Amino acid sequence: MGLRRGLWNYRSIALIVLAPLLLLPLPLVIGTKEAECAFVLLLMATYWMTEVIPLPMTAMLPAILFPAFGIIKSSHVSQTYFKDFHFLLVGVICLATSIEKWGLHRRIALRLVTMVGVNPAWLMLGFMSGCAFISMWVQNTSAVAMVMPIVEAVLQQILKAKEEGCVGEDNPGLQLDAYDIIHNNSEPFLCWVMFYTSVVLHVAVPQPGALSRCKRDLMMCKAMCLGIAYSSNIGGISTLPGTSPNLIFSEYLNQVYPNCNCINFANWLVLCLPISVIMLLLTWIWLYWLFFGSDFRFLCQRGGEQSQKEAAARKVIEEEYRSLGPMSSQEIVTAVVFVTMVLLWLTRAPGFMPGWASLFPHSHMGYITDATVALLLGLLLFIIPAYGPSRKYEAMISWDNFQALMPWKVALLVGGGFALAEGTKESGLSLWVAELLTPLGDLPVLATIAIACIIVTTVTEFASNAATITIFLPILSPLAEAIHVNPLYVLIPTTLCTSYSFLLPVSNPPNAIVFGYGHITIMDMVKAGLGVNVIGVLATLLAVTTWGVPLFSLDTYPDWAPLLPEFNSTAP
């Protein structure tokens, strides 16, 4: 018994050792540069998906193994770890730090909620819209961490206002108590997920007493919490700095296709903002139908007398908003910097007309990027005084404030992805993969893209979004070249689908944060997440096959992509 317990406790060490041993035939038996690079890629994918080693340290493996295999010199591989992406990330985090420090996010969220009303359905839409909007500019995890305390306060106030005699009611057949899953072992897979969530992520497991409230109140809590978790991912895809996969994709494109100047903040917003709006509205309707039923008469009933619970909700929201007081000078400065950053991003190179970047010499060669704007305005936040001359000088944000929010883990993880992409190119692995995937050219292009989206959406439920997109980008771009399709036609939808991790608390940090409040179970998230995944994939495919085609010329093979005449040719 003791031996078995010891082996189980050291299972991570076993996987760390076994993974490279099982993959050793690639460099030892085959021995080509392609096989050696494949060894590195598969080893990193294994470690990333199982997280037996911290993700950033797994990202350091190319710096060790590529020079050891003679694929890339150490001096060269180290240069791939820091790119334009990192400067954009620094600038955006500076803005996010100021927004969070001075409470602008609370004002935005509460204002949006008061605009839509306190009916449970409209209240849910208000919170989802606020979280989605905030998530466009800050990390998804930060957006949920900002909004959920407000949501919880409103929910608790509503639950206090419930009528006497409203006792616990049996859940519908599709509701599953998380406590029973663990202690009765009725579902081994769900039991494992709950164990992983509670022990590894340190998220609280709901206790049986947490469900002793009336059915409608319980359903409202579930729908509201899931709406916040999902809207953070839905809003994040709208902008390039909104989520890590978008930024990784943008930098990968600059690295692998340096002559491609197709992607910028403006045209990405034109493509993805409608996707976010469609997903947000359909997700709202889906969650309402799932937890409240098919009575949609509320859509036509905005006025009328408020119930006791609605009055309680309005009271707590108004009190929260009044507690903020008038807009402070620091909030005004942050809002001005925020609006300025967005406007400069939108007008730098809009595509249909010359942008302000054309006023500078050599701008046509890409000297000025969105990172330049973000870094300049981020630097200003370290200089602009937070108070007037009557007080000691203090900048809007300090280094300690910035460092507390800066996701160094993501920065290192992305650097490892860039190094991996460079290794696949230098070793010839990307060309080998392209030849291997050539038979997919016989399928309709839309079918190929749909299959890729489904695979990525499935993998991202169990691996981090950043790790998933880092693994798949070096595989999917050769696929597009092999079937002679515009690489953007394959890479854009799969990048977006990487953010559709809605099924499990372990899928992403926003899900885990919301799960920790104890209002939802694993089966609630799985049941709701399946529908949102379908909505996301369909909305993405709709976008890239309609308004995305003229926006990025997806129906033609671009001159910036390598031409492989020996492969099959298929046009979208």
Q: What pLDDT score was predicted for residue 196?
A: 36
pLDDT (tens digit per residue) in 506-563: 677 788 778 877 788 878 888 899 999 999 999 999 999 999 999 998 989 988 888 7
pTM of this prediction?
Answer: 0.69
Q: What pLDDT score was predicted for residue 209?
A: 37
Concatenated DSSP letters of 439-500: GGGGS-HHHHHHHHHHHHHHHTTTS-HHHHHHHHHHHHHHHHHHTT--HHHHHHHHHHHTT-
Region 397-411 average pLDDT: 86
Q: What pLDDT score was predicted for residue 179?
A: 33
Q: For residue 365, what is the DSSP state?
A: G
In whole angstroms, what is the distance from residue 540 CA to residue 493 CA?
6
Q: What pLDDT score was predicted for residue 423?
A: 86
pLDDT (tens digit per residue) in 298-333: 666 555 555 666 676 677 777 777 888 888 899 999
pLDDT (tens digit per residue) in 123-133: 888 889 888 98
HSE-CB of 502 using CA atoms within 13 angstroms: 28
Instruction: Say if CB 500 and CB 460 are below 8 A apart.
Output: yes
Q: What pLDDT score was predicted for residue 519?
A: 82
pLDDT (tens digit per residue) in 32-54: 888 998 899 889 888 877 778 88
Please, where are the H alpha helices in 308-407? 308-323, 329-348, 370-381, 399-405
Task: Give the residue with greater pLDDT, 41 vs 355.
Answer: 41
Q: What pLDDT score was predicted for residue 304?
A: 53
Q: What pLDDT score was predicted for residue 117?
A: 65
Residue identified by tokens 């990025």 is 552
Q: What pLDDT score was predicted for residue 188?
A: 38
Q: What pLDDT score was predicted for residue 309?
A: 63
Region 361-369 average pLDDT: 64
Hey, which residues does 385 pair with through a beta bridge? 395
Task: Give the residue with greater pLDDT, 226 vs 459.
Answer: 226
- Per-residue pLDDT band for 343 (boundaries 50, 70, 90) equals confident
- Show the beta-strand stretches assigned E in 350-422: none
In whole angstroms, what is the distance from residue 508 CA to residue 375 CA?
28
pLDDT (tens digit per residue) in 157-183: 666 654 433 443 433 333 333 333 333
Q: For the chain, how far is it from start to end, CA to CA, in angstroms?
A: 60
Q: What pLDDT score was predicted for residue 275?
A: 95
In whole angstroms, what is the distance from residue 127 CA to residue 146 CA?
11
Q: What pLDDT score was predicted for residue 190?
A: 38
In the predicted model, what is the mean pLDDT of the chain? 78
